[in-house]
Amino acid sequence: MERAWLVLALVAVCVLAGYGLYRGWRHRADRQAGIGELPGVPDTVGPDLAAPVTGIYVSTTTAGNWQDRIVARGLGRRAKATVGLTGDGVLIDRVGEEPIFIPAADLSAAGTAPGIAGKVMGLPAGLLVITWRLDGMAVDSGIRADDPQVQASWIDAANELIGGPPVTDPATGEARRQGTGKQWSTGMTPTSPGNAAVLVLEDGRVYSGTGFGATGTAFGEAVFTTGMTGYQETLTDPSYRRQVVVATAPQIGNTGWVAGDGAGRGNGPDNPSDNESPEIWVAGYVIRDLAPRPSNYRATTSLPAEMEHQGVVGISGVDTRALTRHLRSAGAMRCGIFSGPALEGVLRSGGQPAGSVIAGLVAQVRAQPSMAGADLTGEVTTAAAYVVPADGPELYSVAAIDLGIKANTPRMLAARGIRTHVLPATASIADIEKLGVDGVFLSNGPGDPATADALVELTRAILERRIPLFGICFGNQILGRALGFGTFKLKFGHRGINQPVRDHTTGRVLVTAHNHGFAVDAPLDEVVDTDFGQARVAFSCLNDGVVEGLECLDRPAFSVQFHPEAAAGPHDAGYLFGRFVELMDTAKLQVGR
């Protein structure tokens, strides 16, 4: 009897699977049924603009989506082909199949990608991908070229024909391609394959991929973050100043970019912004797979469009898992992303650059300053003080020293009835006392805490006056130095939103958000005598034992290395803002005695 039920279950599974495949086939067939005839091949065409590319025509898919093969009009059939380029357009002459002619006015872009039609090709120079418009739909046609050098020259000539990246038409305000007159929607266009790009590490390792965002060169410290969500909050976090961020999440960009100013009642601009600051602070962005288009009703634009708008260089198609393993073993290091004109020497070498070409790129990377000894606070702090009012009745006021503060911090304080005076990093103890605040907050920020002597002296003055103090991230390191502890640079740092930390007071384990490459050097299980009484480590990381927080036993002050204000989550540590309120409650009672 059991065997009969098992057979019936297997049959049911097979039937359901077959039905699913049939439905998928029908859905694709129905969706592609409206595709008209392919453009006719002209009787005569102009002279070749580049040597023809020979190779294998792989397939045509919807733009940026490797899985969605176009089967209509024979576009999904693999065949040997020759790809010619003239002033009239592109002719893909397939052996045994109908030729594909793409008029110049329908061309969008030419570039490389690691694969198409659901397959990763693993080609050193990438797969030739031509993006064009077919009956109003953006599609990609892929060719596996025989000669990478011919492919590179062909791509250069094709993009010259197309006219380069989109520009804004001053008459209409719409984005269009130069030289074609073809109109493009702004911001939310599907992602098309960009130009070739490489990531070069200071130890000489090179990772090839496809550029997105701005075209050019970006230098910084290569670091990886393990968060599966919240890339917009990461990119706009000032703590990432002068760092090239490697995302370990396999796909980035699927939620677009949310930068509205509404109350969250509708689509796009009607929603509040997800930015942690008004601009992107990362030096560059390295990802595995770029989502072809946003899928988020709150999005106001796409990730590549926003990065291009702000001049931030990115590279996709990189094996970020291999890169992360290398950074974990070798440590965070300087790097550079090269695309566009900066990569011309590599492209001319046909994807197999000579040692001298790579040596030149490595030399540029090694000429960049190290993060050790970097004083970056002045680059990210506010130029002028501003106030964020409390939500509802005001209970306390706090001076927040902006060392690279994130937007969610004042919001978290406001939700607890606190008015926040955000002050520049140059604020003095006299500035704080003049405000008559009930507490002081030291924010997160970038750079080496060993360079922040003025902030250490300010913190010592706050401790001397027994003003309640709460520090986060860089603020934790500043408090540590004020108490007499040293700081040091971690091998590869902690970055992500899934780091386990133990609260030594309660024994509770918190899942926390981290972004730090430096740490405080203090004993984990000892009470230490300092200039301000006794202090101890209050939090530590369960992964490696790194100090994640400090607590003064004779002063109203504590700090954490992680981020209880993390907007993308997790929110396990949000209660620490309540602990700050309790410090001010206690201080108020003592004054009233």
Q: Which residues are catalytic?
A: 473, 563, 565
| CB half-sphere exposure, 129, CA atoms < 13 A | 31
- Separation CA 38–CA 73 (nearest Å): 7
Please choose, from the candidates 443, 455, 446, 449, the residue with its C-alpha nearest in 3D space to the C-alpha of residue 407.
443
**Which residue is listed with tokens 């699977």?**
17
CB 435 within 8 A of CB 419: no
Contacts (Cβ under 8 Å, ≥6 apart) of 472:
409, 441, 442, 443, 444, 559, 560, 562, 563, 564, 565
Nearest to 253 by CA among 214, 213, 304: 304
Listed in order, strand segments (DSSP E) in 382-485 are 386-388, 396-401, 418-423, 439-442, 469-472
Pick from 489, 568, 585, 495: nearest CA to 231: 568
Question: What SS3 state is found at 261?
Answer: strand
Which residue, among 239, 555, 282, has the nearest Cα to 409 in the 3D structure?
A: 239
Nearest alpha carbon to residue 28 among 73, 70, 90? 70
Closest CA to 199 of 246, 132, 260, 133: 246
CA pair distance 328, 339, nearest whole angstrom: 26
Contact 247, 314 (CB under 8 A): no
Closest CA to 547 of 556, 558, 534, 538: 538
Half-sphere exposure (Cβ direction) of 101: Cα atoms closer than 13 Å: 14
Q: What are phi and psi of 104, to 5 degrees?
A: -55, -35
CA distance 497 to 514: 6
Name which of 426, 371, 366 is nearest 239 in CA terms.
371
511 has which bridge partners? 500
Looking at residue 158, the DSSP 8-state letter turns out to be H
User: What is the DSSP code (8-state) at residue 44?
Assistant: S
Of the candidates 294, 45, 263, 101, the one whose C-alpha atom is nearest the C-alpha of residue 191 is 294
Rounded to the nearest 10°, the torsion over CA 378, 383, 384, 389 is: -80
- Contacts with 463 (C-beta within 8 Å, 6 or more apart), sequence order: 469, 482, 532, 552, 555, 557
Residue 223's beta-bridge partner residues?
245
Tell me the HSE value of 298 on the side-chain side, using a 13 A CA sphere. 17
Identify the CA nearest to 281 among candidates 239, 336, 221.
239
